[in-house]
Structure 1
Amino acid sequence: MEAHLSAEPLDRRVLLAAARRWIGTPYRHQASLKGAGCDCLGLIRGLWREYLGDEPEPLPPYAPDWAEAADGPEAETLLAAAERWLVPVSLDQRQPGDVLLFRWRDGAPVKHAGILSTGAQLIHAYERVGVIECPLGTAWARRITHVFSFPGALPWQP
């Protein structure tokens, strides 16, 4: 399946406003429907569809413990997909609207994703909580392993 990318540049303020409209969406494993349910990847997928068009590849089924159960290259499926479809950004150059990827512990696969918001905040879908915007405190910041932007994202303009 080929992505149908929008030719329009993506304003990060518009993207963040859209991400905030997902706040309150309940957590639902593998879902990606604003207001109905999503997981952390579902939030990213929903924003992709809203601003870039069709999802670039089919989503394989995955269990809640997929990262713990996988070995080798299969364990990094979230990171590999981000590398295929998003634009890498250095950790120190991240901007609001960027996608942050997290590892729960050293040596573990990347397993969580969220959107960097303004004022060092994070918009993400959290199990048993749903989509929230919370401070990107030390506990979250130390787990960031990769940063990506959506294709066509313009530089942040406050």
Structure 2
Amino acid sequence: MTRILIVMLVFVGCTPQPIYRAVKADGQKTSVKASETHMPTASVSDSSATGAKKEPANIEEAMMAEIKTWIGTPYRFGMEKKSEGTDCSGFVGAVFRKVRQIELPRQAADMYAKGTPITRNELRFGDLVFFQNTYKGAVGASHVGIYVGNNQIAHASTTVGVTISSLDESYYEKHYLGCRRISQ
């Protein structure tokens, strides 16, 4: 048993320490031993070290994480696929279905008829914000977004696709219709 321990110590003691090579801002090459670095070490439970996805602490984190996966998805009327495009109600419906397991109507006007009406001052993360007359011939609720805090909504814009916009923008102030809170 002692011999095994001694052999193991010899091998461990003979293991070379890594040397990191870098280029300084002035172009000079340099080397640094691992023992001279101050890199944080990751534990096995650290999700970034294991590659595992960290579970969101709450529904807001889960919803925001899902919204971020849609950012940049192009606008396509009548669609709701990240790979092909989506319109505003398709985006909102897909996020609610995945994160909250709530099936919303497919059209913004029908979504507006759901949930509890709330004022703009009562907005909380995940509430729906509706706009009217956003395209020629539109009557009533014709655009919808998800409130994400800081007076901003995540929505599918006809010009830039899924994005986050400020409710303070004149376009959204001009077309604002109302808000709804969707409950299970």
Q: TM-score of the superposition, structure 2-length normalised? A: 0.57
Give the counterpart letter for 1:51 in structure 2: V
Displacement, 1:28? 0.9
Q: 1:27, 1:38 within 8 Å by CA — same for their partners in 2?
A: yes
Q: Which residue of 1 aligns with 2:96?
A: 48
Q: CA RMSD in A?
A: 2.6
Matched, 1:151 2:183: yes
Q: 1:97 to 1:55 in 2, by over 3 A?
A: closer
Q: 1:141 to 1:116 in 2, by over 3 A?
A: farther
Q: How many Å separate the matches in 1 of 2:60 and 2:112?
A: 18
Q: Which residue of 2 aligns with 1:83?
A: 113
Q: Indicate the percent of aligned positions where both proteins have the same amino acid.
A: 24
Q: 1:22, 1:35 within 8 Å by CA — same for their partners in 2?
A: no
Matched, 1:92 2:121: yes
Q: How many Å separate the matches in 2 of 1:16 and 1:126?
A: 18
Q: 2:146 aligns with which of 115, 130, 148?
A: 115
Q: 1:35 to 1:135 in 2, by over 3 A?
A: farther
Q: How many Å separate the matches in 2 of 1:126 and 1:81?
A: 17
Q: How many residues align?
A: 123
Q: Report 1 or 2 for greater relative contact order, CA contacts < 8 Å, sequence distance ≥ 6.
A: 1
User: Which sections of structure 1, spanning at least 5 residues, go unmatched?
Assistant: 1-9, 60-76, 153-158
User: Which sections of structure 2, spanning at least 5 residues, go unmatched?
Assistant: 1-57
Q: 1:101 to 1:48 in 2, by over 3 A?
A: same
Spell out, residue by residue over 1:50-81, the C-alpha distance to the aligned partner (whole angstroms, 9 max, x if none). Answer: 03437356x4xxxxxxxxxxxxxxxxx63344
Q: 2:146, 2:153 within 8 Å by CA — same for their partners in 1?
A: yes
The structure that has the greater radius of gyration is 2
Spell out, residue by residue over 1:98-120, the C-alpha distance to the aligned partner (whole angstroms, 9 max, x if none). Answer: 11000137x94211111122222
